[in-house]
Chain A
Amino acid sequence: MKDSKAAHQGAPFVAVENLTKQFGRFAALRGVSATFDGGRLHAILGDNGAGKTTLLRTLAGLIQPTRGTVTVLGSTDIRAVCDQLGYMAHPSLLYDEMSGMENLRYFARLYGIQDDERCAKAISAVKLDPELTRPVGQYSQGMRQRMSLARALIHDPKILLLDEPFSNVDIGSAREMVRLLESMRAAGKTIFVVTHQASLLDGAADEFVWMQAGQIVGRTRQLQPVEVR
């Protein structure tokens, strides 16, 4: 991990410049410019419609910006570095009818991974049992979120992009998820978390990025100050 950071020294780890995204009559991002350091946990906060998810999806390469550029690991072509990105969305991105292991085995193939051991390890890493044969559709929300995280981690990416990983789960599962994220950050991963439950990340996140009306309106190290806007 440290070597890779050195390789990108000079160029920012993740940067967006003058990013604008318009969906028909609705603009989700309006000229967002920012750079983000590697090896940190960035919490992206804001109201509904502030552009958090659009920003995250643009970083994941799922959305082509209307204007502006995205640079990830020194590359402006996200396709070229997509095997260094792990993306977890609000929906589970899993097939409900298949078991966790079957799901992971399929998604591993997409990254050219044929090794079932790695799938089992990824499942164990999020504190789930790889032997579980129940289809994912019958999991509890907390378990499904963790399985979803395992899917995002299957190819051991440098950067994790997580959209609302704590929503609709009980407080215990959410805390568990935060602990998982902290251990991953400690292992050198760069993590972006979009959430509206900022308090869960108090003390865990290195930085809070506040968004409003399609723009970044503030970046703080602590949670408190910008709450009153």
Chain B
Amino acid sequence: MKLTARFAHRFFSRPTALVGFALFAVIALVALLAPVIFARGPFSIVGMPLLPPGAPGLLAGSDVLGRDMAVGLAYGARISLLVGIASTLFAVGIGVLLGAVAGYYGGLVDDLLMRITEFFQIIPSFVLLMVLVAFLQPSLGSTVIGIALVTWPQVARVVRGEFLSLRSREFVQAARTLGEGDIRIIFTQILPNALPPIVVVSSMMVGSAILTESALSFLGLGDPNLLSWGSMIGGARSAMWVAWWTSVLPGLSIMVTVLALNFIGDGLNDALRPRGPR
């Protein structure tokens, strides 16, 4: 408990981390409560198209089809956060497993796994992602899987590096002499020590996954049955010059969310950095 308190103190004593956390909390709350706050769904038409923000009953104006932008933004947050977090969880799962095995065993196993990792890294990831999503049919699930498949190598690299340096530490040798098995050593001895960089990388990855999802939806490769920030911008292309809010507001939402996640990542990096003489 003491450790948690000290960690929280270190994290929140950074102004950017505090701002990032507050912004993220607000966005997450709006996303969670969207169906409670708004009576109508994001696709229902509420009035004339392209009404500016502040028009009666329309806090954020209406889009090209006359739908409430505010509802769209709130529902878009659900999709962005869901895709960001789910794909990162997947990617971290794959990356930690492969990185840990490669770093712990080394030798041939490491060579083989790293060649596979490099295979994913040398292919232009966005092109691969578009092909994957198009092949699997655009849907929420295919977007999540696609993003996870192109981002896990980052995690695998980080985890492998940590394992390579930690596995030769004397406490790992001690665990072996005590008769602990490989799986136990990987998960209870080494992984807890490798967590800080994994946490930092994943917080940043959520942000980049949100960007990637937006780009896919903008190109029309998102789930056609769901409204996301990217597809809102994509739909607003024709009205960009006459109704700025249709593209700027979802764009700002993306920016603020990703910024908040990066601030959180920075804060975690500082708060988790090992202290003391060694």
Q: Tell me whether A and B are bound partners.
A: no
Residues of B within 8 A of A (CB): none
Residues of A within 8 A of B (CB): none
